[in-house]
Amino acid sequence: MGAAGSPHATFQRALKQGNLLMALTVARELPFVRLGDALAITLLILEKDPPRYSTAAARWAARFVLEATPAPTLAESQLLAAALADLPSEAARSALARMCADRGLHECSAALELWVRA
């Protein structure tokens, strides 16, 4: 199967098209969803299914705390949660982008940039 037909390519197309159902369906088939891709799904949930956003954002924040290097402090974790709760405000986007950039999480920064442009 070529790259265009791979599950990850299908997943990326679903994200770009804003197709939440397809993105979630394909994500379940992937062996691993990277942190940046998980953020992209979380942001898509904010747009397409706001009642589910709080839970999705909390799950993404937990992954960030566990996977980011260096690990965020308690104060940074609180800032992260506050930023996610305040999206889509510009201040929240900036705080989240800064936290991702400070840890070299370029995929997360890219997901935020794509979401802002959409």
User: What is the CA 70 to chain-centroid distance, rounded?
Assistant: 19
H/E element, 96: helix 90-102
Q: What's 30's DSSP letter? A: S
What percent of the chain is predicted at pLDDT more than 90? Answer: 90
Q: How confident is the model at residue 118 (pLDDT cuts 50, 70, 90)?
A: confident
Is 80 exceeded by the pLDDT of residue 1?
no
pLDDT (tens digit, 9 = 90+) per residue, 67-110? 999 999 999 999 999 999 999 999 999 999 999 999 999 999 99
Is 90 exceeded by the pLDDT of residue 5?
no
What percent of the chain is predicted at pLDDT more than 70? Answer: 97
Torsion sign across C-alpha atoms 18, 51, 68, 38: negative
What's the Cα-to-Cα distance from 99 to each of 21, 23, 73, 82, rounded to whole Å? 28, 25, 11, 12
Structure tokens at 86: 């305040």
What's the Cα-to-Cα distance from 93 to each of 6, 8, 101, 113, 116, rounded to whole Å? 31, 26, 12, 9, 9
18: left (phi over 0), alpha (psi -120 to 50) or beta: left
d(CA 73, CA 71): 7
